[in-house]
Structure 1
Amino acid sequence: MKIYKFDKESGNKINKFDSDFVMSRIIQTEKSARVGCMYLEKNGIIGYHQATVPQLLLIMNGEGYVRGQEEEFVKVQPGEAVFWEKDEWHETRTDNGLTAIVIESEELNPSMFMKMRE
Structure 2
Amino acid sequence: MRLIRFDATAGRRIDRYESEFTLSPLTAPGERFKAACFHLPPGGVVGFHEATVPQLFCVVSGSGWVTGADQQRVHVAPFEAAFWEAGEWHESGTDEGMTAVVLEGELVEPR
Q: Same fold (TM over 0.5)?
A: yes
Higher relative contact order (CA 8 A, sep 6+): 1
- Whole-angstrom CA distance in 2 between matches of 1:35 and 1:69: 23
- The CA RMSD measured in Å over matched residues stands at 1.2
Percent identity, aligned pairs only, is 44
How many residues are aligned here? 81
- Residue pairs, 1:1-118, within 5 angstroms: 32-111=32-111
Q: Show structure 1 runs of 5+ residues with no match.
A: 1-30, 112-118
Q: Tell me, what secondary structure is at the counterpart of 1:110? A: coil
- Whole-angstrom CA distance in 1 between matches of 2:91 and 2:71: 10
Q: Show structure 2 runs of 5+ residues with no match.
A: 1-30
Given that 2:71 and 2:91 are in contact with CA atoms closer than 8 Å, whether structure 1 keeps it comes out as no
- Whole-angstrom CA distance in 2 between matches of 1:51 and 1:96: 25
The TM-score, its normalising length taken from structure 2, stands at 0.70
Question: Post-superposition, which runs of at least 4 consecutive aligned residues in structure 1 deviate over 2 A?
Answer: none
- Whole-angstrom CA distance in 2 between matches of 1:93 and 1:77: 12
Q: Structure 1, residues 25-73: CA drift from partner, whole Å, max 9, x if none?
A: xxxxxx8310000000010000000001000000000000100011210
Question: Which of structures 1 and 2 has the bigger CA Rg?
Answer: 1
- Whole-angstrom CA distance in 2 between matches of 1:80 and 1:100: 10
**1:83, CA displacement in angstroms?**
0.3
